[in-house]
Structure 1
């Protein structure tokens, strides 16, 4: 398995400005070239770190989550990465080695490593290899539900979880699920979706879930609202609720993306009505 890793830098003065970046009322596409030195951000309480913000809640757009690509130099990290006690998180490692301490337990995550970090959890991270650690960090404010326990933290790996084929696709479309879809404790899912060359989503999905899709590997053509958009490894797509979506995998190798979606909860009815 290979994962695209942004390396920063800056396009040369002789390169064209034209790119595929677009923001609409229904979706956004952030091409991989956008993740340059000039667009990187920093956070307090970290050492040897920079990050690219791919998504943040915006009124009228996707409103439930934020997503970062974080690069940490060897030995760098944070003793208190999460400052919001109501936030849960998922870390997905795409390069290097990341050591995650959850309470008194130590977990070493290599490429493809996955960690779910429960709301209110005490955790810290450190780049523990001799190369920078690069990982996705997806955050969502947890929504408690009556009679439902809060999920606990756990670690897993893309390399250890067998993808589940979608029915009737002969394995051309499969999803690596780190959480049981029937586990109502979870109000978000972060999965890895894999299409073999020529695999498709054969109809425009139109549903209540918001999405963040980061292309880990390969290329494809994605239907976003009314537009067919070419995407490749390193591109990010951001979809609001009910944005029609479908895709074709372009080949020659697998087309894989990291997918966020909000699940298993009532739709909020707005502040005026206590939602």
Structure 2
């Protein structure tokens, strides 16, 4: 009798960090979403303040009821890749997203999507509770990462960043794409109140998470808890790139 070779690269330290590679994920049934194969990779059950999903929208896959329609919930969708055409509708406004396309949905609206093409697409889907601030209200944003000029991150010649959402105090969050040329690294070890949910799009890097150095590669999901020490070196002979969320522009409640 033979047994499977059971091994994993996943590391989960509730309240601190998690690295979840694709080989250990399972498909979750999400009421109101059909024709999709989505995995929940980030959840309050491990300490996240958000929920993040990743997976496929097959041909004719769609929402059958608005996503993140609950009061006070904002959401975000990003097309990782694929040849399908993802029609996204927010408050009656519709746009078709291709690879690299994204949309931010404010807390007073909900998200609907449908794959109107013949091929599947892979998406990142995200939701969290909006933190209000007096006189502030975020607004719907559509865009494509390929239309955004990248800038040097903190002036570093080998590290590049793209802001997907406006750097605007109306928003309590942002999504960024961060890229490291071979040999690029963070300028220092960060320790901050913000948390991140990161999905690795290409390349590989070694990441400091808390007290652990962890090798990470394309298609891994990383959750960074608040005040978890973090920094990375891009390893390998190509760019190391990931898309990540960040909470911002708000004080801390006590």
Taking structure 2 as the reference length, the TM-score comes to 0.92
- 2:8 is equivalent to residue 23 of structure 1: no
Number of equivalenced pairs: 249
Match of 2:45 in 1: 58
Q: Match of 2:107?
A: 119
Structure 2 unpaired stretches of 5+? none
Q: Look up the match of 1:89.
A: 75
The yes-or-no answer on 1:208 pairing with 2:193 is yes
Greater displacement, 233-242 / 46-55 = 46-55
Unaligned runs of 5+ in 1: 1-12, 270-275
Residue of structure 2 aligned with 1:162, choices 115, 127, 149:
149
The answer to whether the 8 A contact 2:67-2:110 is kept is: no
Contact 1:164–1:177 (8 Å) recurs in 2: no
Separation of aligned partners in 2, 1:113 and 1:147: 29
Aligned 8 A contact 1:216 1:233 in 2: yes
Match of 2:96 among 95, 108, 116: 108
Deviation of the 1:89 alpha carbon: 0.8
CA-CA distance at 1:74 after TM superposition: 0.8
Say if 2:23 is the partner of 1:33.
Answer: yes
Residues 122 and 238 (structure 1), Cα distance of their counterparts in 2 relative to 1, 3 Å cut: closer
- Mean Cα deviation higher: 24-33 or 207-216: 24-33
Residues of 2 paired with 1:80 and 1:194: CA distance?
33
The runs of 4+ residues in structure 1 deviating greater than 6 Å are none
